[in-house]
Amino acid sequence: MVCGIIGITSSEDVLDKPLGVSLKEALKKLEYRGYDSVGFALIDKAGRLVVRKSKGMIDAVAAKVGFELFDGYTGIGHTRWATHGPPSDVNSHPHTDCSGKIAVAHNGIIENYMELKEALIDEGHTFISETDTEVIPHLIEEFEKKGFKPYEAFKKAVELLRGAYAIVAIDVNDPRKVFFARNTSPLVLGFGVKANFVASDAVAFLNFTRRVLALRDGEVGYITPEEVVVERLEFREGRPVWVAVDFTSRVKNIDWTVEMASKGGFKHFMLKEIHEQPYALASTIASAAESVDKLAKILTRVDRVLLAGAGTSYHAAYVAALLLRKYAGLWALPVVSSEAQWWLSTVKEGDVVLGISQSGETIDTLKAVREAKKRGALTVAVSNVIDSAIPRESDIAIYTKAGPEIGVAATKTFTTQVTLLGYLSLRTGVLNGFLSESEASEAFKSLRELPNLVRHAINTYEAKMASLAVEMKDRPNAYFLGRGLGLPLSMEGALKLKEIAYIHAEAYPAGESKHGPIALVEEGFPTIFTIVTADEGELIKSNVEEMRARGSLTIAVFPKNLEDIARLVKTPIKMPVVKDVAASALYIVPHQLLAYYTSVKKGLDPDKPRNLAKTVTVF
């Protein structure tokens, strides 16, 4: 899971407010990542290290510790999602060394912390927390005691760490620097004016700068207000040597704005992001025209396509596999990233493996991409975050243009993934001749109409879903049933309801429901059908009947011309009749709204579901 990290170094008073406040504001932007404790450390204007931290949410912790009371030019902040040691004041980050001069915040897991801790205890160090992180400040202190300067001591410490980490550290012995190191866990630098930043996500510093550098695994360095140094460890003549990294060409201007990363009048990020879908889709479709052609040409020559993704991205992979089969005649298979290794064992040169991940950092998907590459397949990233790990490690990257997605529940990134991949399927079908010109032109037209259709669906169904949510909120279980494209949409609908409304929701192929799941269905048990095409509707009718016969509360999202379905179900959600490539994105909208309002009506916070984090960088 991920914690949130921020490091700021500024000269004079460019931040215009106490550093404690800037750290708090940055941490607020990282709240979406999921956390249970908050803390910060800064070097105050008298050169002393100040550390304040506590279990709890940012606002409550701020009221307790008073971020605004502390000022300085160099500081770090952290939101912790507990791994080693339960959430508590003492386990919160930052952690310090024995002398109280070094402070460290960390995201990830230090696998060899026990052995390091024991060695440090033997050297006389005292530990106060149960965390793996606490070894890091003590290691730095130990190397400083041996005569290393702070940055050198930091690098020596990093050399000893095994595991996944993003680390920031400050040290009163070198008070203008924030040290950083990345291995597997995301970390980006922000280049400001008389101020530089390091954070787990650029949204933390968007109000200061949009010039960013995504750090790569193994990169270590520091920022001062005027300087950015990045190095990596190389082995020369068998000896490890730190060498400078020339990152100039990697610095990018991101087109995300501060407004995109704020709630803009909506009660929750999730609701705002549902409403942003028309813009997100329009931008994705506009850029797809340029970005997918090279890949579509490649796909005309390949044998097999595997699409790997986790959670919502897996559902997008599933939709895309069906579209690639239907529109381009390709052999395409969706796989859950964490299970991919069993499918990848037969992948070889000539195959293409797509790693679908909005964050571009999901470790299971990254692992699948690495494995595919090792086996000689062409790897393609489909991501929403430029230069994140999966795009960086893939041969080709294509991007959705959804803008930052802060709510833990994926919404606009799903519809844009499905649309981008739908577009790719159509282009491939056109290029390999599988798709007739007339069918292609009708399908492209439906994609161009999609942003307006989504806007209209939100306006039409928001109130209806809010009132259906009142019926749903006290139900302990629900089934989501579909066939064909309706199945991955059902899986996505179930995931949304499960993750933010805490209702046990299962998706099944509708035809499978009578092979076991139906045993649970009794009076009032909700079964929610998603039907994308008339063919699916024809086949699903008998499944609806079976559920009705058992008193199920039947709900269906379906094309409005399927009159039989309208007659059969208790709650019909009639959708515009549109080509399946567009319906695959459009028909998920009622599900998103239903999950959102059910969560809200249950008094939950849909942006921060329990036990979940936005980006999952652990296996």
Q: Single out the residue of 311, 404, 451, 482 in contact with ligand M6R (rule: CB under 6 A).
A: 311
User: Looking at beta carbons only, is 223 or 616 nearer to ligand M6R?
Assistant: 616
**Closest distance of CB 354 from ligand M6R, Å:** 12
Contact partners, residue 533, CB within 8 Å, separation at least 6 = 484, 485, 486, 559, 580, 583
Please, which residues bridge with residue 4 across strands? 79
224 binds ligand M6R (CB under 6 A): no
| Placement of tokens 């279990």 in the chain | 55
Nearest approach in angstroms of CB 366 to ligand M6R is: 9
| DSSP-H helix ranges across 337-401 | 340-344, 363-374, 389-393
CB of 417 to ligand M6R, least distance (A): 8
Taking the complex as a whole, the smallest distance from the CB of residue 113 to ligand M6R amounts, in Å, to 26
Tell me the C-alpha distance between 583 and 415, whole Å.
10
Question: Interface with ligand M6R includes 388 (CB under 6 A)?
Answer: no
d(CA 319, CA 548): 28
Interacting positions 489-518 with ligand M6R (CB under 6 A): 495, 499
With binding defined as CB under 6 A, does residue 458 bind ligand M6R?
A: no
Based on the shown chain and the rule CB under 6 A, indicate whether residue 599 belongs to the binding site for ligand M6R.
no
User: For residue 198, what are the β-bridge partners?
Assistant: 7, 189
310 binds ligand M6R per the rule CB under 6 A: yes
- 428 forms part of the interface with ligand M6R (CB under 6 A): no
Give the residue, chosen from 332, 353, 585, 616, that forms a contact with ligand M6R under the rule CB under 6 A.
616
User: If binding is defined by CB under 6 A, does position 379 make contact with ligand M6R?
Assistant: no
# residues contacting ligand M6R (CB under 6 A): 17
Smallest distance from the beta carbon of 336 to ligand M6R, in angstroms? Answer: 10
Q: Count other Cβ atoms within 10 Å, centred on residue 515.
A: 10
| Contact status: 183 vs ligand M6R (CB under 6 A) | no
Among 37, 133, 183, 357, binds ligand M6R (CB under 6 A): 357
- Total number of residues shown for the chain: 619
Among 359, 446, 527, 584, binds ligand M6R (CB under 6 A): 359
The reply to whether 98 belongs to the active site is no
Q: Minimal distance in Å, beta carbon 496 to ligand M6R?
A: 7
Using the minimum distance from each CB to ligand M6R, give the nearer residue, 262 or 417.
417
Q: Comparing C-alpha atoms, which of 282, 540, 420 is closest to residue 557?
A: 540
In angstroms, rounded to a whole number, what is the distance separating the alpha carbons of residues 199 and 111? 22
State the minimum distance, in angstroms, from the CB of residue 400 to ligand M6R: 10
Closest approach of ligand M6R to the CB of residue 248, in Å: 28
- Please tell me the distance from the alpha carbon of residue 226 to that of residue 196, in angstroms, as a whole number: 8
Q: Does 575 bind ligand M6R (CB under 6 A)?
A: no
How many CB atoms are closer than 10 A to CB 423?
24
From 38-46, 129-137, 311-319, 524-532, span contacting ligand M6R (CB under 6 A): 311-319
* Side-chain half-sphere exposure of 407, counting CA atoms within 13 A: 29
Give strand pairing partners of 41: 51, 76
312 binds ligand M6R (CB under 6 A): yes
Is residue 582 within a helix (H) or strand (E), and if so which, with residue range? helix 580-586
Considering 3, 29, 498, 608, which one is annotated as catalytic?
3
Whether the Cβ atoms of residue 345 and residue 368 lie closer than 8 Å to each other:
no
- Count of helices and strands (H, E) across the chain: 19, 25
Backbone dihedral angles phi then psi of residue 580, each to the nearest 5 degrees: -60, -30
Among positions 79, 262, 362, 379, the unique one binding ligand M6R when judged by CB under 6 A: 362
The C-alpha atoms of residue 529 and residue 544 are separated, in whole angstroms, by: 8
- Candidate residues 365, 379, 425, 543; the one interacting with ligand M6R per rule CB under 6 A: 365
Q: Does 313 bind ligand M6R (CB under 6 A)?
A: yes
For residue 293, give the nearest of 432, 439, 450, 451 by alpha carbon.
Answer: 432
Question: 403 to 422, contacts with ligand M6R by CB under 6 A?
Answer: 408-410
Stretch that binds ligand M6R, among 280-288, 296-304, 447-455, 611-619 (CB under 6 A): 611-619
Q: How far apart are CA 419 and CA 394, in angstroms?
A: 21
Is 487 or 547 the residue whose CB approaches ligand M6R more closely? 487
Q: How far is CA 570 from CA 524, 601, 604, in A?
A: 11, 22, 27
Annotated active-site residue in 117, 367, 412, 614 = 614
CA angle 316, 320, 324 (to 5 degrees): 175
Binding site for ligand M6R (CB under 6 A): 310-313, 357-359, 362, 365, 408-410, 495, 499, 612, 615-616
Catalytic residue positions, numbered: 3, 614
